[in-house]
Amino acid sequence: MTDPQIISALFEKETSQIQPDEKNLIKDVIARLDQGKIRVCEKTDTGWITREWIKKAILLYFRIQKMEVIELSPELNFVDKIPVKKWTGQEGVRAVPMAIARYGSFIESGAILMPSYTNIGAYVGSGTMIDTWATVGSCAQIGQHVHLSGGVGIGGVLEPVQAQPVIIEDHAFIGSRCIIVEGVKIEKGAVLGAGVTITASTKIIDVSGSTTKEYKSVVPANSVVIPGSIQKKFPAGEFGVNCALIIGQRKESTDLKTSLTQALRDFQVSV
């Protein structure tokens, strides 16, 4: 049997019936996830695919682990089932004090973690900055050269196992206090201004042309997005509800930093 078949079979077992060698297999899957040898979600020629069996392995790992005291120093400890990463300095990652990455997440060499939290199953690419008090939820996929500004909340998802996690593709810029949840995908090079909230049901409306165009759960590549509202009728009356407005396009440029700076200036986007 392949690893996916074995993990899927174990997932149907009662926790008490899982044998020591089977527990070791589960732990091996999480170790490979932690090292970046496997990923919960990955882009292929036909689009992003989610590997349900790895999410099942994470859920199994929670089931077989026991609560214990995790001591980082005499003055700082936690009580949990999942340990945090222990940096050796050889990973090529800058992790400033109070940057917490849970074991089973992968942080690629060249990433920078300010005081922040990255959960199990998440992937953070090279050149990406996770800024102060930003959170990267379980299984979220953050590409290369992404900037998650201060206080950004990237949602996590373990169940249902078939659900796609939040995906932030390469060179995206996510402004401060943005919230991206429920499997929303931010495509390559998109710029989100401060305070944009996008869920699976949020209307994403392109207002940059003579007519509007609407999207759900995906922000197209290079879009420049700000928070907005749209009127909706309720039994008690008509009220404004949250939406996201695409107000323009970031220009294609080989100098992506210049392109980003110009986009922020041209569209007067607060970040």
pLDDT score for 267: 74
pLDDT in the model for residue 264: 72
Does the pLDDT value for residue 1 go beyond 90? no
Whether 233 shows a pLDDT value over 70: the answer reads yes
pLDDT reported for residue 257: 64
The pTM score is 0.93
Q: Which domains does the chain have, with CATH numbers?
A: 3-64 (1.10.166.10)
Task: Find the range with the poorest average confidence among 32-36, 125-129, 145-149, 160-164.
Answer: 160-164
State yes or no: cis peptide before 227, omega within 30 of 0.
no
**Residue 245 pLDDT exceeds 80:** yes
pLDDT tens, position by position, 73-108: 888 889 999 999 999 999 999 999 999 999 999 999
Question: Region 125-151: what's the mean pLDDT?
Answer: 98
End-to-end CA distance of the chain: 50
